[in-house]
Structure 1
């Protein structure tokens, strides 16, 4: 049995195709939305406790941290929806070839960046 096998331990030399990056981002944004949901539920519960709780949440959401969390949450939701639609189209048998899959992944990422910038400008 040969013991020589390729080993690539330098992670910075690995290059992923756009479709792999898109798939990884889809999973990462799903996890990010889970943790963002925890914040949203806590803020919602705190705002319903009293008028002071509502004022505290309102002040937090109007501050720098609140805006960053809001933009991040909406950004994660946007990418997850775009990539989910891409996966649905792929489930119907389109964009399954390497070239079209990579192109659809690039379009998804570019749309996500554009929408995130627009949302960031609107929310800021």
Structure 2
């Protein structure tokens, strides 16, 4: 084969989609990506929560300091976000475990279980917001 024939084979037209606004992920893919992100958020937030727990258990003054830190609106919002990420990770983790057992593997049931899981997380998120505030 000549070099020019090899170049012809490489120059085949290939589909290229560089417009990211036209790419649409299915809801199940979005849920899976968010599950991974919530796992990272949960992992990172462990350090924050352990620091706060250590501060609150160190002494009565440490407890007062930890209580005053958590009275801030911003800190309550961060705590609510951490709880929401944890709840999301738990609910969708259970969904993934059920899928590993053979349930919800078809597209229709997988989509339905994703929607139900989102509703459960939304309810638990509102409940955790009430607990934080």
Q: Name the TM-score, length of structure 1 as normaliser.
A: 0.90
Larger radius of gyration: 2
Q: Is structure 2 residue 67 aligned with structure 1 residue 42?
A: no
Q: How many residues align?
A: 124
Report the Cα distance in structure 2 between the residues aligned to 1:47 and 1:98, rounded to whole angstroms: 48
SS in 1 for 2:49: helix
1:1-124 map, 5 Å: 1=9, 2-124=11-133
SS in 1 for 2:15: coil
Report the Cα distance in structure 1 between the residues aligned to 2:68 and 2:20, rounded to whole angstroms: 42
Greater displacement, 109-118 / 19-28: 109-118
Structure 2 vs 1, CA of residues 123 and 48 (structure 1 numbering), >3 Å: closer, same or farther?
closer
Q: Deviations over 1:82-124 (max 9, x none)?
A: 1011111111111101111111111111211121112212321
Larger RCO (CA under 8 A, 6+ residues apart)? 1
In structure 1, the gaps of 5 or more residues are none
Q: Name the TM-score, length of structure 2 as normaliser.
A: 0.84
